[in-house]
Structure 1
Amino acid sequence: MNLVLASQSPRRKELLSVLGVPFIVVPASIEEIPLPGETPEAFVVRAAREKGMEVASRVSQSLVLSADTVVTIDGEILGKPQDEEEAARMLRKLAGRDHWVYTAVTVINQVRQQTLDGLDRTRVWFHSLSDEQIRDYLRRENVSDKAGAYAIQGYAGVYIPKIEGNYFNVMGLPLPLVHELLCRTLS
């Protein structure tokens, strides 16, 4: 049975490699749009599951792993910024405050016809940021593919004094949750 990563994220690919299990990458092609009134938690679980189901429809006899990550503050979902102006707006909103990062993981075992979902969350604190620091950060980093316009493992890490929860969750693939779901579906 093949393990299929339903993601084009280089970070997820790198993190999944840590488990030492061979896998192939088949990116999902779905629109990630929250439904009206949908909570961040419900949205991220639905998006991860839809990604997994879409890829599962194109492969067979496989174990499909998908994930989705969102950053939330004040109940607002901060997705991937459309442009630098939106990225700066997101960073100003996060500056000097704490926020939540949610990652949902779905594992679809096609042989057993079993689907498992899991959700992890991490609280992240940002230092206050001046407009100059935000401009400097955006010059250094390409944030177009990053929820909330930052990557904790990149330069943004200098502005994050603490987190509560799983570091890998903030990167987009909570390894303890992935390991748990894979073990459950294979046992």
Structure 2
Amino acid sequence: MLREAGIDFEVGLSRAREWPYPGGDPAEYAESLARAKAAGAEGEVVLGADTVVVVDGTVLGKPIDPDDGAAMLRRLSGRMHDVITAVAVQDRGAIRWGHARSRVTFRPLSSAEIVEYVTSGEPLGKAGAYAIQGRAAGFVAELDGDRDTVVGLPLGLVRRLLPKRVGGLIAD
């Protein structure tokens, strides 16, 4: 996505470790994870991001195993949920951050569809146990908001947070 936006980058690993949702505002939680990721990596400009799925006030992170992924998908089946992606940019020791939110409604999913999807391995490592840019695109009945937010990198927000010298983009 960054390449398509004309941003040159290298992928690096952050030393930050994710922690369980402690309660409170899900957007603030996602922002704190994104800030930790940006601060936990080295580079001239570092971008960190984190995505959470919120259904009925409950935050769904990444499934711990296939059974957990299947349980998340059963919970999302035929329901509306919010996807919040937070982005943080570290530039010369200063960190700027924000978040974007989209609303997704899944069509009802059959048990067989859930088993088949979980067996594919795609849900592992994905907030809410699905990837809208993958096979789960067929689960979506309605999307209100930016698809990039659901994918996990809202480019409009990234453009606002990056310094002007990166990719010739204009930042606030």
State if a TM-score over 0.5 links the two structures: yes
- Could you tell me which residue of structure 1 aligns to residue 127 of structure 2? 147
Give the counterpart of 2:108 among 128, 134, 155. 128
Shift of 1:116: 1.0
Q: What's the Cα RMSD here?
A: 1.7
Shift of 1:183: 4.9
Give the counterpart of 1:27 among 7, 13, 18. 13
Instruction: Give the letter for the 2:106 counterpart.
Output: F
Tell me the percent identity: 41
- Could you tell me which residue of structure 2 aligns to residue 84 of structure 1? 66
Moved more, 90-99 or 72-81: 72-81
Give the counterpart of 1:46 among 32, 38, 62. 32
Structure number having the greater helix percentage: 1
User: SS where residue 29 of structure 1 aligns?
Assistant: coil
Change (3 A) 1:146 1:35: closer
Instruction: Give the letter for the 1:128 counterpart.
Output: P
Matched residues, number: 167
- Runs of 5+ consecutive residues of structure 2 not aligned to the other structure: none
- Rounded to whole Å, the distance in 2 between the matches of 1:106 and 1:185 is 17
User: SS where residue 163 of structure 1 aligns?
Assistant: strand
User: SS where residue 137 of structure 1 aligns?
Assistant: helix
Shift of 1:36: 2.9
Change (3 A) 1:42 1:185: farther
Instruction: Give the letter for the 1:40 counterpart.
Output: P
Instruction: Give the letter for the 1:48 counterpart.
Output: A
Shift of 1:35: 5.1
Change (3 A) 1:27 1:17: same
- Could you tell me which residue of structure 1 aligns to residue 85 of structure 2? 103
Shift of 1:152: 0.4
Moved more, 146-155 or 22-31: 22-31
- Rounded to whole Å, the distance in 2 between the matches of 1:45 and 1:98 is 22
TM-score between the two structures when normalised by the length of structure 2: 0.90
Give the counterpart of 2:143 among 163, 166, 173. 163
Shift of 1:45: 0.4
- Rounded to whole Å, the distance in 2 between the matches of 1:25 and 1:97 is 35
- Could you tell me which residue of structure 1 aligns to residue 54 of structure 2? 72
Asked if 1 retains the 8 angstrom alpha-carbon contact of 2:21 and 2:59, the reply is: no
Instruction: Give the letter for the 1:31 counterpart.
Output: R
